[in-house]
Amino acid sequence: MNTENPAGYADPAAARKALRRLASGVTVLTVDGGAGARHGTTASSVVAVSREPLIIGVSLRPASVFTRLVLRAGTFSVNVLAAGQGDTAKRFADPERPSGDAQFAGVAWTSDPLSGAPLLGGSLSHMSCRLLERHRVGDHDLLLAEVTGGAHAREAPILSFAGRLHMAQGVYAPA
């Protein structure tokens, strides 16, 4: 590849394809909206923003059910999916899934002791989050949240790369 002037470098479609080469962890964000309004959504746009205090950023469509419920509840949970949870990722990405508590039918979960949101069984890690700020950035909302609690397991992650799910392989040796 010519790095001085790559072919198609100024083409927006090429730029989007280049961005899809950024591998990211796959999560299911969950919220307890009260009165049977639990909701989950698959997201690969979760990033650590600050270590002190511990803050993450989540990028979502502003009209999404999840965004509306989080703005009302003020808290949510992040479930980082493990390599064997591809079906879970697909389930919570499906726009035709049932709404409310019904979307969790057949999914093992417990209630987050801090946010009340569902913590999905078998996940690589869970984080309880308290919404700090919401910013419109382009056609998405950036939610900034403080991580108020969490737990992790010794598993390999599932990754999103080039629009597909990939099971991470290799050595995982957490500190």
Residue 137 domain-assigned (yes or no): yes
In this structure, what CATH number is given to the domain that contains residue 86? 2.30.110.10
Higher pLDDT, residue 173 or 74: 74
Domain count, the chain: 1
pLDDT at 170: 58
| Structural domain span for residue 112 | 26-42+73-156
pLDDT of 24 above 80? no
The 10s digit of each residue's pLDDT in 93-110 is 999 999 999 999 999 999
Instruction: Label each residue of 15-74 as H, E or C.
Output: HHHHHCCCCEECEEEEEECCCCCEEEEEECCEEEEEECCEEEEEEECCCCHHHHHHHHHC
Residue 4 domain-assigned (yes or no): no
Tokens 């591809």 sit on residue: 86
Residue 52 domain-assigned (yes or no): no
Residue 60 domain-assigned (yes or no): no
Residue 86 domain-assigned (yes or no): yes
The b-or-e profile of 37-75 (16+ CB within 10 A means b, else e) is bbbbbbbbebeeeeeeeebbbbbbeeebbbbebbeebeb
pLDDT of 1 above 50? no
Residue 174 domain-assigned (yes or no): no
**Which segment of 1-10, 57-66, 100-109 scores lowest on mean pLDDT?**
1-10
The 10s digit of each residue's pLDDT in 127-141 is 999 999 999 999 899
